[in-house]
Amino acid sequence: MIWLGIESSCDETACAVLKDGPVVEVLSNPLYSQIKEHSVFGGVVPEVAAREHLKKISSIASEAIKLSGISFSDIGAIAYTAGPGLMGPLLVGASFARGLSQDLRIPAYGINHLEGHLAAAWLSAQDLKPPFLTLTVSGGHTELILEEENFKYTAIGRTRDDAAGEAFDKCGKLLGLGYPAGAVIGKLAVGHNRKFHHFPRALKGKENAEFSFSGLKTSVLRYVETHSPEYIQENLGDICASLEEAIVDILVSKTVWALKKTGMKTLVVGGGVSANQHLREQLQRYCVGRGIRLCFPDRSLSTDNGAMIAAAAIRREKEHALLNIEEVKPWMPLAP
Ligand code: KG4
Ligand code: ZN
């Protein structure tokens, strides 16, 4: 069957066409990123995001169809992001999906955005079977969750305040790196001194999987206030490397704690921050030699996209666990 995936939970209007079969194929996966619209404000403005989704969604859906070489009448089902996310943007995606489903007389299924991020990793490892530990690291979430059969989720730990991606973005903003800053910090850090400055690692060493990144933000603020702009510019690579080290260090140490606690031999990582090369390398370093299987999404599928939403629906369909629209809302234990 052919699936249309729709993602509109934040600032990317994304649609994708996937072909279900023994091996699931992504036929197209275009998106419109609203970075330009939000960067002037230094972060996502929900109202602006909703309006942009409304402007772009139908042309991105048409583009996904065109790029995949199929026509709208070939689509057998639609998967759209039901939450968590920004209310207005979610409403645009859900309305478009439900309207199209009425028009084409095909079903539309609401999908949890975080489950979508993890399904992006599944696309590269389709033999993956639960139980496994999952780490979701995005702009809105930092969660360690145990996934067992039949999509049973147990929260092991999560952030008490900011998410890891949010920490990258807010610290980057303080350093004058624009929005979003995660990928920029990752690039600037390459080849630089990770020990240049020791930024704090909150809750490290505590016997739990709780994260906290708000203190890191304050510490970067103090650093910027107590050093000249020239000094920051001259040492930007080393500062970014030290900052990235602090975030990755805490993500890895809490994940290691959760792996030990749960005894899991597979770790699945998803979300925008899973594109981070240093995080990939550090987790790989821990898992290799300990017999732990590590699954990451293809880097192009780490950040928000439509393919991950269709993939999550296909994963559920294969396990006969697709949810009706009415079922989606109560099933959101992952939302903060
Ligand atoms: O999953 P995502 O696209 O959106 C949410 O669901 O939030 O994640 C976006 C986040 C942003 O905070 C962005 O700065 C971060 O992912 N990000 C990265 C990298 N690429 C994106 N953070 C660190 N390193 C990267 N290479
Ligand atoms: Zn996301």
Question: pLDDT tens digits, residue range 88-121?
Answer: 999 999 999 999 999 999 999 999 999 999 999 9
- How far lies 322's CA from each of 112, 266, 277, in Å? 11, 24, 33
Ligand 1 binding pocket includes 273 (Cβ within 6 Å): yes
State the closest ligand 1 atom to the C-alpha of 85, by its place in the atom list counted from 1: 6
CB of 20 within 6 A of ligand 1: the answer is: no
Q: Which residues pair with 192 in a beta bridge?
A: none
Determine whether the shortest distance from the Cβ of 139 to ligand 1 is under 6 A. Answer: yes
The answer to whether the CB of 182 is under 6 A from ligand 1 is yes
SS3 36: helix
Q: What homologous superfamily is domain 129-300 in, according to CATH? A: ATPase, nucleotide binding domain (3.30.420.40)
Of 229, 228, 230, 174, nearest to 199 (Cα)?
A: 174
Q: Which of 119, 166, 145, 179 is nearest to 301 (CA)?
A: 119
How far, in Å, CA of 263 to CA of 132, rounded? Answer: 9
**Chosen CATH of 2-120+303-327 out of 3.40.50.10320, 3.30.420.40, 3.40.50.300, 3.40.50.2000:** 3.30.420.40
For the chain, give every domain's residue range: 2-120+303-327, 129-300
Beta strands in the chain (DSSP E): 2-7, 12-19, 25-28, 31-33, 75-83, 108-112, 132-137, 142-148, 152-158, 266-270, 293-295
| Residue ranges, the chain, pLDDT below 70 | 323-336
Instruction: Tell me, in angstroms, the distance from the centre of ligand 2 to residue 180's CA.
Output: 13
What's the confidence (pLDDT) of residue 335?
35
Residues 242, 199 contacting (CB under 8 angstroms): yes
Spacing, Cα 302 to ligand 1 middle (Å): 8
As a whole number of angstroms, the distance between CA 139 and CA 132 comes to: 23
Q: Atom 2, ligand 1: which residue's CA is nearest?
A: 272
What per-residue confidence (pLDDT) applies to 40? 86
From the CA of 303, give the closest atom in ligand 1.
Answer: 3
The answer to whether 2-120+303-327 and 129-300 have equal CATH topology is yes
Q: From the CA of 172, which ligand is nearest?
A: 1
Q: Of 152, 239, 250, which Cα lies nearest the Cα of 198?
A: 239
Query: Ligand 2 centroid vs 206 CA: distance in angstroms?
Result: 28
Q: What is the pLDDT of residue 43?
A: 85
